[in-house]
Amino acid sequence: MFPVTSEAGEYRPLADRMRPQTLADFAGQEHLLGPDKPLRLAIERGQLHSMVFWGAPGTGKTTLARIISTSCEAQFLILSAVLSGVKEIREAIAKARQYRDVYARDTVLFIDEAHRFNKSQQDAFLPHVENGTITFVGATTENPSFELNNALLSRVRVYVLKPLARDALNRVVRQGLQDRERGLGNKNLQISDEALELLVDSADGDARRALNLLEIAADLAASEGITAALVREVVSGSSYRRFDKGGDVFYEQISALHKSVRGSAPDAALYWFARMLDGGCDPLYIARRVVRMASEDIGNADPRGLRLALDAWETQERLGAPEGELAIAQAIVYLACAPKSNAVYKAYNVALEDVKSTASAEVPLHLRNAPSGLMKGLGYGKKYRYAHDEPDAYAAGESYFPDDMAARQYYYPTNRGLEIQIAEKLARLRKLDEKTQKN
């Protein structure tokens, strides 16, 4: 039987004992390791190159780095960015240089939690990656584009590891249960199909968690084996949804929520809302983003959407959960079902670009307020036409842009919702302007 304890007498969890030793044992990541995929070919041919593995916990980043090192007959050194600094980096580089000089072989330097190294620490690797002293293999759960500096990124290839699919997790659990050398095969335990399904669901794409849950269930199992009731007991009270507050999954999910609302898909929008709440997201953050959706994607097609979004935000602030969350859900569904318009959003951006790209034009005299006699004497407010004194409360032909700036049209109402009427009114007013200018 595969030892449950290390040489130092420390207990070895099932997830560690079942760590794959070869690509044949590795589960998942077919998009990287399938037949004829570049990474698989590089590993099989012993062609080392520096790389970064980006993926959620339990997707095989460390395991794959070890397999690469073994396949290429290279020394494997590991540093944790949480526990290491420049001193440890220098010591690892010295070991790599010595190993190359003595054995003429490469060294894979695996950096766990690579995103936790600061810029100067990351820079310490550059000359040694450049001259081939080490093959840098980093692992990160954070987006390398934001967490690793450009100098290091330019010297590595980034591989994205995906959460394990159900069939891959199913395979991992069954191997752990049946393997007599490394796993739990000597216990001769059976697992029901329902229990297996519950366990795989609870793992949420994480192979390590799947094996940890399996080991706990196996320790508690009676003669009838691992049942669905037992798995429910093991996983009860624990939520393990992939959601890192402020990280990539966070922004991916809020993006999915926003795009579902924009795409008039209320059911999908509710799903992503529920996912974010389940992951621990602050409902007030979502409420603020819902207000943004109301302005950006619904706009004047249905101005009631903005008011409803603000009311939901206030309800959450006043009442908290669950009443506030229900109000946010109501606003989300309303916005998803409402007519859509980004006309104001587009108009605002074009106007803002105009302002940034042109000189600071003065306010025309007739539009300036004149609270003092001096200002009146300077012509402030002179010839201003008070709209309410004009027919239909509209000063036809009047200009409100700076004197040296031609009139612009930024806002183009859509033919949806209330903007249909807004467009009709604006068209009517423009005809009045044209008529006045001709006269």
Q: Which helix (H) or strand (E) holds 217?
A: helix 207-220
Closest-CA residue to 267 (of 329, 225, 327): 329
Q: Give the single-character DSSP code of 295.
A: I
Closest-CA residue to 160 (of 139, 186, 191): 139
Q: What's the pLDDT score for residue 1?
A: 42
Cα separations in angstroms, 421 against 35, 189, 301, 316: 59, 70, 10, 34
**d(Cα 344, Cα 297) in Å, to the nearest integer?**
9
Q: What is the pLDDT averaged over residues 416-424? A: 94
Q: What is the pLDDT averaged over residues 51-77? A: 90
Residue pLDDT, tens place only, 215-240: 998 888 877 789 888 988 888 755 55
Q: Is 417 exposed, middle or buried (0-12, 13-18, 19+ CB in 10 A)?
A: buried
Model pTM score: 0.63
Q: Which two tokens stand for residue 361?
A: 């034009």
Residue pLDDT, tens place only, 156-169: 999 999 999 999 99
Cα separations in angstroms, 229 against 172, 198, 199, 225, 235: 21, 10, 11, 11, 10
Q: What are phi and psi of 146, to 5 degrees?
A: -105, -25
Closest-CA residue to 16 (of 29, 8, 4, 28): 4
pLDDT, greater one: 376 or 302: 302
**137 C-beta neighbours (distance < 10 Å), count:** 28
Band of pLDDT at residue 306, cut at 50, 70 and 90: very high
